[in-house]
Structure 1
Amino acid sequence: MIKLSAIANERDSFSNIPLKYDLHQNYPNPFNPITTITYDIIKLQNVEVTIYDILGREIKSLVNDQQQPGSYTIKWDASNVSSGVYFYQLKTKDYINTKKMILLK
């Protein structure tokens, strides 16, 4: 299950656009089996959000699309993968960040 929606966050008071790129820590963490990932984009561009296992293998592409500036939330349902450490990465032309999360079943 992937759910994507825009959310309010730290923004420029005149334009309502985030002031910087940011990939937030997922919550809850550790999780079982659903977690929430939030991130901020400051301009229109292609956005990729990808889940990797501990060995760096791609597990799931959550987002691979052009997105408007704003704050976004994704729900990842990890029911079909085993317990362990996973990484999620936000990648744009101007920004890359990776964070760790733990799935405990």
Structure 2
Amino acid sequence: ANYPNPFNPTTSIRFNMGETANAELAVFNMAGQKVATLVNGLVGAGSHEVTFDASNLSSGVYFYTLNSGSIVETRKMILTK
């Protein structure tokens, strides 16, 4: 989950890993273009939090996707300026 949502210009994204694994946390725009990669590599088990700074992006709806092998989760967030 991310908070705050809607956000301007930063939001914190929290996620949990059941085990240590390679993971990618990426942000996409409505057109499906990747606009940021926040995590890409080995992530330990447990709870994690990363900050997404969207000050260089336009207002609108974005999606963040956590991909860790067999698990893919996508959530929506809204940037309001």
- Normalised by the length of structure 1, the TM-score is 0.75
Identity %: 44
Paired position in structure 2 for 1:81:
57
Paired position in structure 2 for 1:42:
18
Deviation at 1:94, TM superposition (A): 2.3
Q: Is the counterpart of residue 32 in structure 1 residue 8 in structure 2?
A: yes
CA RMSD of aligned residues (A): 0.6
Flag the structure with more relative contact order, 1 or 2, with Cα contacts below 8 A and sequence separation at least 6: 2
Matching of residues 1-105 of structure 1 within 5 Å:
25-105=1-81
Q: Which runs of 5 or more residues in structure 2 are unaligned?
A: none
Q: Deviations over 1:11-32 (max 9, x none)?
A: xxxxxxxxxxxxxx21101000
Higher strand share: 2
- How many residues in Structure 1 have an aligned counterpart in Structure 2? 81
Aligned mates of 1:100, 1:56 — CA distance in 2? 12
Deviation at 1:72, TM superposition (A): 0.2
Aligned mates of 2:2, 2:24 — CA distance in 1? 16
Aligned mates of 2:32, 2:43 — CA distance in 1? 25
Q: Which runs of 5 or more residues in structure 1 are unaligned?
A: 1-24
- Normalised by the length of structure 2, the TM-score is 0.97
